[in-house]
Amino acid sequence: MDMVIEEGSSRAKKEAALGVRILAVGALGVVLGLAFSTNAIAGKDKMVKFMIKDDAIAKSLTGKPGNAANGRKLAISRKKGNCLACHVLPIPEQPYHGNVGPDLMDVASRLSEGEIRLRIVNPKVFNPDTIMPAFYRKDGFVRVLKKFKGKTMLSASDVEDLVAYTMTLK
């Protein structure tokens, strides 16, 4: 049984208003999705220069300490750091920690802040055969998707946040 709703009826007006709201929410979702997706790849800005000495980057990339709480979130994030894909971390609320990379439970007692920073920025400097990606590097990659070319995986601030978090793991 088909229902016919007269154009001027209150029900038709309510349904039209609901349709407009749904359309507005959908449009907002698309706009926010585009905004966030363009920022999903962090390093579209100029890269910060850094110096590697004794298998470490001693100075902060941002000139200030990172935020450990944000670093923990990045370590969990499947879209940013995704450290859990390869490493065991003290994050019991997240299942399925990886075992390809070293256990990071006490990494700060084994490595200095500068050594950790280098391993996040570009671990291939320390170990050319590692499968860990360089999170703060824009070039030298092969078979990179067009949308990722010339971009780093993490921003300098993200790197410092991850360094601050991993420095709590003693």
pLDDT at 46: 82
pLDDT at 41 (0 to 100): 44
Long-range contacts (CB closer than 8 Å, 24 or more residues apart) made by 122-131: 125/52, 125/55, 126/55, 131/86, 131/100
Contacts 24+ apart (CB under 8 A), 125-129: 125/52, 125/55, 126/55
Task: Judge whether residue 102 has pLDDT over 70.
Answer: yes
Range from 68-72, 81-85, 145-149 that averages highest in pLDDT: 68-72
* 61 vs 116: CA distance, rounded Å: 13
Which H helix or E strand runs over 133? none
Rounded distance between C-alpha atoms, residue 92 and residue 90, angstroms: 6
Q: What does DSSP assign to residue 150?
A: T
For the ranges 22-31, 36-45, 132-141, the one whose mean pLDDT is highest: 132-141
Structure-token pair, residue 13: 């007006």
pTM across the whole model = 0.72
What's the pLDDT at 81? 85
* CB neighbour list of residue 152: distance below 8 Å, 6 or more residues apart: 41, 42, 43, 47, 135, 136, 137, 138
Average pLDDT along the chain = 81
Q: What is the mean pLDDT of residues 55-80?
A: 95
Please give the CATH superfamily to which domain 68-166 belongs: Cytochrome c-like domain (1.10.760.10)
The predicted model gives 146-165 an average pLDDT of 93
Q: How far apart are CA 114 and CA 60, in angstroms?
A: 8
